[in-house]
Structure 1
Amino acid sequence: MTQVLHTERLMLRPSTMADLDAVRSLWTEPDVRQFLFDDHTLSRQEASDFLAASDASFAQQGYGLWLFFERSLLEQSGEVIAPSDPSLTITGFSGLIAVPDEPPSLVFGTRPQLWGRGYATESTAAVLRYVFDELGLEQVVADVDEPNTASIRVLERLEMVQTGRAIVNDRPLLYYALQPTK
């Protein structure tokens, strides 16, 4: 069973294939794709493949990509889990990508017009609490483009520790890791 997560301001639910167009719209916004996909505009098929992998990951590991929505907007609409009103756009996404023989990798993003409100930190903290407390994961990792100072601040607020730096595809990447507190 996939888990719906709640925070004070957000509701997070697992992504589904029905979210394809909305997710692709967010992922192809220039400010989002700049760091998330190295400025590559994902095709509809690539976005579909990503969502399918998330769906499989939820089924196999209990984690994947959660979409998050502002609870205040959901309460106004009366929707609970699957917002269907087109005016209720995705606020952002947080989740883990399964990596063979490696700890899962944290990924997150927020609609650019909502940056600076703490949603990325709030949503990723909820995901990490769930995967550490409920699923018993032992470690989560993340990589971030070095110029992406906003995402670096999110990782630092989550108390992730920088573990390395590398140049990948001519771009400086920083690597982070987090283990649950005992």
Structure 2
Amino acid sequence: MTPELKTERLRLRPLTQDDQPWFGKLNRDPVVRRFLWDDDIISDEQAADIIAESSRLFEDRQYGLFRADDENGEPVGYYGLWFFFGEDLPQLLYVTDPERNKEGFAVEGARAIRDYAFGPLAFSHLDAACDAANEPSHQVARALGFKLRKTAMEEGLETTFYRAYPADDGAALASG
């Protein structure tokens, strides 16, 4: 069964190849490209390959990348669990369309993924990594109760690593 997640304002469903034009365009946005792809331009073929890998992950492990649509059915970003840096468990990934920033979708979508990881998937912990210079990404991690774990050079960039556990709750942090 393919998971679908819902929040107050979002419907999250696994990416499909039909999403490739939108997904590719979002990943070529200068802000997304800077922080997620280290300024590399993602081709349509690479976007299709990422979606295919996400579909395989959903088939095998019930997680991958979710497209998030607002209450009008318009895409606002994608959120999910994805492997980085050769780690054993996937990390929380959250990408909001820069045109939809400051609407609270990043925290809402990322919270849905965190709760899915700790609920049905029964993860013992969840990591999130942010480029050191990407302060909005740090704010999302902290709002969700992630705690600073370390800062390290990864692939030539200063990267900050956060970790959360199932008992962590970012609600108090988000309001404070």
TM-score norm. by structure 2 comes to 0.89
* CA offsets 1:82-103 (integer angstroms, 9 cap, x no match): xxxxxx3x21010001466512
SS in 2 for 1:18: helix
Tell me the amino acid that sits aligned with residue 30 of structure 2: P
SS in 1 for 2:11: strand
Kindly state the Cα deviation for residue 169 of structure 1 after the two structures are TM-superposed.
3.7
**How far apart in 2 are the matches of 1:127 and 1:167?**
26
**How far apart in 2 are the matches of 1:57 and 1:98?**
10
Which residue, out of 156, 179, 182, partners 2:142? 156
Q: Residue 81 of structure 1 aligns with which residue?
A: none
* CA offsets 1:58-90 (integer angstroms, 9 cap, x no match): 11111110010111x13xxxxxxxxxxxxx3x2
SS in 1 for 2:8: coil
**How far apart in 2 are the matches of 1:133 and 1:152?**
23
Pairing 1:39-50 to 2, within 5 Å after superposition: 39-50=39-50
Q: Residue 19 of structure 1 aligns with which residue?
A: 19
Tell me the amino acid that sits aligned with residue 174 of structure 1: T
The yes-or-no answer on 1:175 pairing with 2:167 is: no
Tell me the amino acid that sits aligned with residue 95 of structure 1: G
The yes-or-no answer on 1:96 pairing with 2:81 is: yes
**How far apart in 2 are the matches of 1:101 and 1:149?**
23
* CA offsets 1:102-127 (integer angstroms, 9 cap, x no match): 12111111111111111010001011
8 A Cα contact 2:117 2:126, kept in partner: no
8 A Cα contact 1:104 1:139, kept in partner: no
8 A Cα contact 1:142 1:177, kept in partner: yes
Q: Whose relative contact order is higher, 1 or 2, with alpha carbons under 8 Å and at least 6 apart?
A: 1
8 A Cα contact 2:94 2:106, kept in partner: yes
Tell me the amino acid that sits aligned with residue 93 of structure 1: Y
Q: What is the RMSD of the two structures over their aligned residues, measured on CA atoms?
A: 1.5
Tell me the amino acid that sits aligned with residue 161 of structure 1: K
Tell me the amino acid that sits aligned with residue 35 of structure 1: F
Tell me the amino acid that sits aligned with residue 127 of structure 1: I
8 A Cα contact 1:65 1:93, kept in partner: yes
Tell me the amino acid that sits aligned with residue 124 of structure 2: E
Percent identity over the alignment is: 31
Q: Residue 82 of structure 1 aligns with which residue?
A: none
TM-score norm. by structure 1 comes to 0.87
Q: Residue 134 of structure 1 aligns with which residue?
A: 120
Point out where structure 1 has 5 or more consecutive residues left out of the alignment. Answer: 75-87
Tell me the amino acid that sits aligned with residue 91 of structure 1: V
